[in-house]
Structure 1
Amino acid sequence: IAPRPGSSFREDLYWEARGVSIEVVPESITRKAGGWSLARWRTALRKRILLTLPYRTRGYLLAAVLGVRDPDLTEAHRRWGTSHLLAVSGFHVGLVAFAVWRFLSFPALRLVCSRRLAAVLSSLFLWGYVLLAGGAPGALRAALMIQALLLGTVLGRKGTPLNSVSLAALLLLLWRPAWFFDIGWRLSVMAALLLAGLGERRLSLWMLPLSSLFIWFAAFPQVTATFGEVPVAGIALNLVALPLFSLLYPIALFLSLPLLLSVPSGEIFAGTAEGLFSLWEWVADSAASFFPWTLSWSPLLATLGGGLFLLTVTGGLFPLRGRTIAGAGILLLAAVLLL
């Protein structure tokens, strides 16, 4: 896919951010039998999912479990403004870590599993999933952040989400500076900082949909500068997308296991997951039809997005008073004048 005219896309930075330094063109390829490897296991699991599960279910689970995107599904989510649901990022890594931690925190398991052991086991599952999913930059950032929180639990020191996100981002940039030029990495860190800032405030029922709306506006400047436009339907859909998929992904995986394990009548359970994904697509298509417009980059919306981001992060660090708001405004003005 060629970059749009006038784009700042640089192919050398794109490949450097993915750890590619040279291009190798083999004269021939010979397949040989080998021992166990993570790549071989990922290939076998991908083949099993492709050949076993229904169309929509396999597309979503391939994206969530292995980081492999279906082209048709990717295009549909681009049209809906919910492409982040298919990219293995903090959302998916957080779901895995939270599920393992909550499972090990059941009263029946606390008798044999201390908090320290639960943190160690959660860390193993956490990094195992990140490697299985391909080790995307956003997933590594989320894993480092969660690992810092788990380490604080083991040491008896309560960490703050903002510090954890900042530390994870800094370590990853020190390891591979080219990741800064990857828009996916930048958006992932931005969303994590915004969620961490909101998390420092008093949590409420409205926090999750409100955070989705904040992330949409905060991401608007970078997304439109890179891709040209964003669908308006994404504003409405993202209010429910994250809460919905935080339930839909685990349910779909659970319903797909019988068919993946060749359990008799497993197709009935997998069909239920397929129906749930079909219902989501119907809702998303309806929203895209009801809001068919797109928005291009504009100074007003870009300033609004940047202001919301700075105000949320500074509000997570300091009490939300007049001086905090004034400081966020000065930072925003300095950024506008600099850039």
Structure 2
Amino acid sequence: MRGKWFFIAVTGLLGILTSLRSNEVGLVLFLLFLLFQKIVRRTTKKEIFLFCLVFTLFCFRGEIEKSWGKSKITGHEEAFTIEIIEPIKMDGDRLTIRAKEIKIKEKLLTTYALKSEEEKNYLFNNLSVGAVCKVTGNLEEAGTPTNENAFNYRDYLRTQNIYWILELQKLKMDDCKKSINLISSLKKLREEGIKYIDNNFPAEMSPLASALVFGDRSLIEDDLLHAYQRLGIVHLLAISGLHVSMLVGTLFYLGLRVGITREKLMNGLLLFLPIYMVLTGASPSVNRACLMLLLFLLIKKFKPQQTAIGLDVISFVFVFYIFLTPKSIYNIGFQLSFTVTFALVLSSTIILKHYSSPVKLLIATSIVSQVSSTPILLYYFYEFSIVSLVTNVVFIPLFSNIILPAFLLVLIFYLIFGEALNPILLLLNAFIHFINAVTMKIAEFPLSTVTLGRPAPILMALYISSIPLFFMKWEKRQKSVARLLVVPVSLFLIQFSTTTYSPKGVITMIDVGQGDSILIKLPYNKGTYLIDTGGTLQFSQEKWKKKKDPFDIGKDVVVPFLKSKGITKLDKLILTHGDMDHMGGAPALLKAIKVKEIVLPDVQESSTLEKDIVDIAHQKNIPVKFVRNGDMWTAGDYVFHILSPVVSSDLERNDNSVALFVEMGGLKWLFTGDLEEEGEKRLILNYPNLVVDVLKVGHHGSKTSTSENLVQSYKPKVAMISAGKNNRFGHPHKEVLERLSKEKIIIYRTDESGAISYYFKGNSGTFLTINP
């Protein structure tokens, strides 16, 4: 088996994928794998038989996982006995607990709405890992995505064998008791360690220290975390091989210095590493690093004469990992950690060995990591950093040689000397503040990342298959690394051109809940427009209720959707009127997406939100155009007509919404914002002979809009309604739906179907919805 474990790992992965994902595709890939082994490697019949045996074994393991992966809970239960299995999370007035139902032995994601600041503080100080509580609550399934390429929270939880979310009615410590076992004790120790750092370390330092020492990034501000992602150095905030190797090396060195024998140190490390995995959160990167080191130590202990092959070690750990937890293959951290490690191990003996200079070696290592991880980053995050080669050269030595050792030493000495160490903490905090400020500043550079969107399946396959080709070419041309970039750059250009200059156009009513946001993307990049951004109503709250990173429609829904489509620039942002549910997401969008022009209604009195948007536009040097009926613009063969508002109108804000008319894809479209009956009357008066095929129903289907007069005058064939699921306004109203149905108008609703898209080419197109 020596030197063969890599192929065993590939076989095992294909077996798991065949069982869990797609029987046909997995089987075809395995047959191609066997063909490669027979023709290229001239593998013996015994090895072919071994691969078939391993493939069958892992297929069987996957089938067992599928049979186990079914909930035993019906969904009607109300009383539960749960054990807290992970540190509790508190964000504002929301408590989140990962727990296990004791009787059924099934994981639950448990949430609880905190009633007061006193209750929040009390539970934070008393509720911890290992507590067993009797609770009552209501069960519901996690939501599924309602926009294309959106994060699938239900699937994410199911990969962790969590099938239900339990919303607690009440939570009292009187109903809880402590449960003592080794794992829960270690997790409780981790929880206390995170709290200790948060309570005693300065504000800038504590989030980073918590991430580097205990593997918890929940304290890091979202903007800072995003900045690390943009610079391609977010991996430094996760405990991985670098941290584990440094810690073990330090312990080994100190042990030898105080006279402990190598054998005792090795035995101690064999016991310490599994404990360390639990103390640092047992993330895939931690588990992978610790398991690899454990295997190296075991080989050294029991076969001291045998040299461990790095590729065999990582392959064996991979096989062990996916056999133990098959669904881990869906974890992003698992995919990135193993992919990059495999790439580094494979290249270490054929590529990296040619670089003796530390700087050149670090650059080469960064290239290997970047190339191998880019397909994963594009699939999940739609973009990758182009400055990471430079930032890694600077930040990796900074973190490995200064920040991480400093945090470990400071934590140890603070436990001994306490507040006497505060002056050193303040100095280190000032240094971290400077590093964070520099990171945020660099991340603001517009060209720090490349956004290409989610690759199509065929392109994804090309990306993956091009990685071995890239490394093979690099191996043959060690002195021509720059020319090798032709391979990935060519694929990037293909994706960019096919996405940006597609002959197909699309109109998408994005599901933003109770609000409006409509994307218009014309063929051949003739124009990209967004009508409204959606928005979430913000109510004033007590300080203790405020979340660290409040949900924002613009940041959390619209921007990811646009980026998943490879859109980083809008020719026009059309904000129909000043209501929060139509333009509340604009500030976050303007921060992430380049906008060439903002279009607003030309009205006598602007809302506060409209004035704020104008201020942001002036700061960013974005032209603002105030439009009224009669205005128009042309993009290629398409002419966009502004039909509302009417100049000097004394109507209410909704009735002064921007109304837009355009003919696209063989259909005539009317987008009405929140026009109500008075605004509709004015529209019909000014444009009595308008022919409309598709009507964007005004005001989310409110009974004060989409009047009989409008329907009879324009006779649309299709109506599109944007409304939040189970919204408190009752939109769309029954009267409106009956009015539309009476005229046999096809109705599409985001609250039922999710996002609604019309894909067109020339004068023909097709409507598609996320939920059929």
**8 Å CA contact retained: 2:277, 2:290:** yes
TM-score by length of 1: 0.80
Q: Are positions 1:187 and 2:336 aligned together?
A: yes
1: CA distance, partners of 2:145 / 2:215: 23
TM-score by length of 2: 0.37
Q: What does the per-residue CA deviation read over 1:226-277, in whole Å, with 9 as the maximum and x for residues that have no partner? A: 1111233333212222222112211122134434445353111112322332
Q: Which SS does the other structure have where 1:55 is aligned?
A: coil
Q: Which SS does the other structure have where 1:265 is aligned?
A: helix
Q: Which SS does the other structure have where 1:295 is aligned?
A: strand
1: CA distance, partners of 2:268 / 2:470: 37
Q: After the TM superposition, which of the residue ranges 251-260 and 209-218 deviates more from structure 2?
A: 251-260
> Counterpart in 2 of 1:215?
369
Q: Are positions 1:149 and 2:296 aligned together?
A: yes
The structure in which a higher percent of residues are helix is 1
Query: Bigger relative contact order, structure 1 or 2, given CA contacts below 8 A and separation 6+?
Result: 1
1: CA distance, partners of 2:273 / 2:464: 32
**Which residue identity lines up with residue 46 of structure 1 in the other structure?**
I
Q: Which SS does the other structure have where 2:384 is aligned?
A: strand
> Counterpart in 1 of 2:178?
34
- Where does structure 2 lack aligned partners over 5 or more consecutive residues? 1-142, 478-486, 492-772
1: CA distance, partners of 2:367 / 2:393: 6
2:322 to 167, 173, 181: 173
Q: What does the per-residue CA deviation read over 1:42-84, in whole Å, with 9 as the maximum and x for residues that have no partner? A: 2222221111101222111111222221241423322333221
> Counterpart in 2 of 1:284?
439
2: CA distance, partners of 1:91 / 1:251: 15
2: CA distance, partners of 1:9 / 1:239: 32
> Counterpart in 2 of 1:326?
none
Q: Which SS does the other structure have where 1:163 is aligned?
A: helix
**Which residue identity lines up with residue 404 of structure 2 in the other structure?**
Y
Q: What does the per-residue CA deviation read over 1:277-317, in whole Å, with 9 as the maximum and x for residues that have no partner? A: 233224423433456442123889996786455665999xx
2: CA distance, partners of 1:244 / 1:226: 28
Q: After the TM superposition, which of the residue ranges 43-52 and 32-41 deviates more from structure 2?
A: 32-41
Residue 43 to residue 293, structure 1, CA distance change in 2 (3 Å): closer
Aligned counterparts, 1:192-207, within 5 A: 192-200=341-349, 202=353, 204=356, 205=358, 206-207=360-361
> Counterpart in 1 of 2:418?
263
Q: Which SS does the other structure have where 1:252 is aligned?
A: helix
2: CA distance, partners of 1:228 / 1:55: 32
Q: Are positions 1:139 and 2:280 aligned together?
A: no
Residue 262 to residue 48, structure 1, CA distance change in 2 (3 Å): farther
Q: After the TM superposition, which of the residue ranges 47-56 and 63-72 deviates more from structure 2?
A: 63-72
Aligned counterparts, 1:271-310, within 5 A: 271-290=426-445, 292-297=447-452, 307-308=466-467
1:11 to 145, 153, 157: 153
2: CA distance, partners of 1:54 / 1:177: 41
1: CA distance, partners of 2:385 / 2:323: 35
Q: After the TM superposition, which of the residue ranges 14-23 and 188-197 deviates more from structure 2?
A: 14-23
**Which residue identity lines up with residue 325 of structure 2 in the other structure?**
R
Greater Cα radius of gyration, structure 1 or 2: 2
Q: Which SS does the other structure have where 1:159 is aligned?
A: coil
Per the TM alignment, residue 87 of structure 1 is displaced from its structure 2 partner at its CA by 2.2
1: CA distance, partners of 2:205 / 2:472: 37
Aligned counterparts, 1:81-96, within 5 A: 81-96=232-247
> Counterpart in 2 of 1:117?
264
Per the TM alignment, residue 124 of structure 1 is displaced from its structure 2 partner at its CA by 2.5
**Which residue identity lines up with residue 225 of structure 1 in the other structure?**
Y
- CA RMSD in angstroms, aligned pairs only: 3.4
Per the TM alignment, residue 17 of structure 1 is displaced from its structure 2 partner at its CA by 3.2
Per the TM alignment, residue 5 of structure 1 is displaced from its structure 2 partner at its CA by 4.1
Q: After the TM superposition, which of the residue ranges 127-136 and 191-200 deviates more from structure 2?
A: 191-200
**8 Å CA contact retained: 2:383, 2:451:** yes
Q: Are positions 1:160 and 2:309 aligned together?
A: yes
Per the TM alignment, residue 33 of structure 1 is displaced from its structure 2 partner at its CA by 6.0
Per the TM alignment, residue 176 of structure 1 is displaced from its structure 2 partner at its CA by 1.2
> Counterpart in 1 of 2:253?
102
**Which residue identity lines up with residue 192 of structure 2 in the other structure?**
A
**8 Å CA contact retained: 1:213, 1:238:** no
**Which residue identity lines up with residue 272 of structure 1 in the other structure?**
L
**Which residue identity lines up with residue 39 of structure 1 in the other structure?**
K
2: CA distance, partners of 1:97 / 1:313: 34
2: CA distance, partners of 1:35 / 1:225: 41
2: CA distance, partners of 1:188 / 1:284: 23
- Where does structure 1 lack aligned partners over 5 or more consecutive residues? 323-331
1: CA distance, partners of 2:406 / 2:469: 36
Per the TM alignment, residue 40 of structure 1 is displaced from its structure 2 partner at its CA by 2.5
Per the TM alignment, residue 29 of structure 1 is displaced from its structure 2 partner at its CA by 2.1
Residue 313 to residue 281, structure 1, CA distance change in 2 (3 Å): farther
Matched-pair identity in %: 22
